[in-house]
């Protein structure tokens, strides 16, 4: 178990609802769910979730901590907001689902190789280097994340899309040498570090 996870287990014992209320974005709204099932029925990805949003809220109240935080259900949300506009209790369902995914990531409980988490982390790491996304190095990092052979296969499979982007001027091979950068990169890094310190302090996640 990661240190943060060990600390959380010791701190909250079996009170998973309180843990979510204190540590997950908008988690204080989970108790408002009346289990009507509208969100589960409205979600376009409903049949593909191991645990629907309705079930996720039930599991939080039932204390099924490990089962939920180690599942990949929260990573299925596409932020379409269908559930939010239909929920009779006006729960910010999308935000809570993403908050749970972020919390599972911070506790290092996400299943290994979870694709949405992997893409999100590659995107964030790429963005944080120089303050803007480098499309070429991001694409290469994504294609080659599972090794050289798989990377070559992925690149060949996507070659027509890559050529189309090149022709349209949306992909610049010279970006491999660094590409565009924000002027004040150290300022961006300081701003993000400060925002993280404030948010982690608010959520009790400072190590």
Q: Which stretch binds ligand SF4 (CB under 6 A): 5-13, 78-86, 114-122, 186-194?
A: 78-86
Residue 93 or 142: the one with the smaller Cβ distance to ligand SF4 is 93
Asked if 96 interacts with ligand SF4 (CB under 6 A), we say no
Q: How far is the CB of 61 from ligand SF4 (least distance, A)?
A: 11
Residue 110 tokens, joined: 């996400």
Nearer to ligand SF4, 39 or 107 (CB): 39
Which of the stretches 62-70, 75-83, 174-182, 197-205 binds ligand SF4 when contact is defined by CB under 6 A?
Answer: 75-83
Q: Are 204 and 103 in contact (CB under 8 A)?
A: no
63 alpha-carbon distance from chain centroid: 22
The reply on whether position 83 binds ligand SF4 by CB under 6 A is yes
Residue 27: C-alpha distances to residues 30, 49, 79, 93, 95 (Å): 6, 20, 17, 9, 9
Helices (H), the chain: 3-12, 16-23, 38-42, 53-62, 65-69, 82-86, 93-106, 115-130, 135-143, 148-157, 159-167, 185-203
Is 73 an interacting residue with respect to ligand SF4 (CB under 6 A)?
Answer: no
Point out which residues bind ligand SF4 (CB under 6 A): 33-39, 42-43, 45, 53-54, 57, 77-83, 87-89, 91, 93-94, 97
């Amino acid at each position: 178990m990661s240190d943060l996870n060990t600390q959380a287990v010791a701190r909250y014992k079996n009170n998973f609802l309180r843990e979510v209320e204190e540590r997950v974005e908008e988690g204080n709204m989970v108790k408002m769910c009346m289990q009507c099932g509208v969100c589960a029925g409205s979600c376009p990805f409903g049949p593909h979730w191991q645990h629907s949003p309705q079930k996720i809220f039930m599991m939080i109240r039932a204390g099924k901590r490990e089962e939920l935080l180690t599942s990949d259900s929260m990573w299925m949300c596409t932020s379409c907001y269908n559930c939010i506009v239909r929920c009779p209790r006006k729960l910010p369902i999308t935000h809570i689902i993403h908050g749970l995914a972020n919390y599972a990531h911070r506790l290092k409980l996400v299943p290994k190789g979870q694709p949405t988490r992997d893409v999100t982390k590659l995107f964030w790491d790429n963005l944080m280097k120089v303050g803007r996304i480098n499309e070429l190095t991001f694409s290469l990092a994504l294609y080659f994340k599972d090794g050289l052979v798989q990377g070559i296969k992925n690149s060949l499979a996507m070659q027509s899309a890559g050529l189309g982007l090149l022709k349209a001027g949306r992909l610049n091979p010279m970006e491999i040498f660094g590409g565009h950068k924000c002027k004040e990169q150290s300022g961006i890094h300081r701003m993000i570090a400060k925002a993280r310190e404030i948010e982690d302090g608010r959520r009790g996640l400072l190590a």
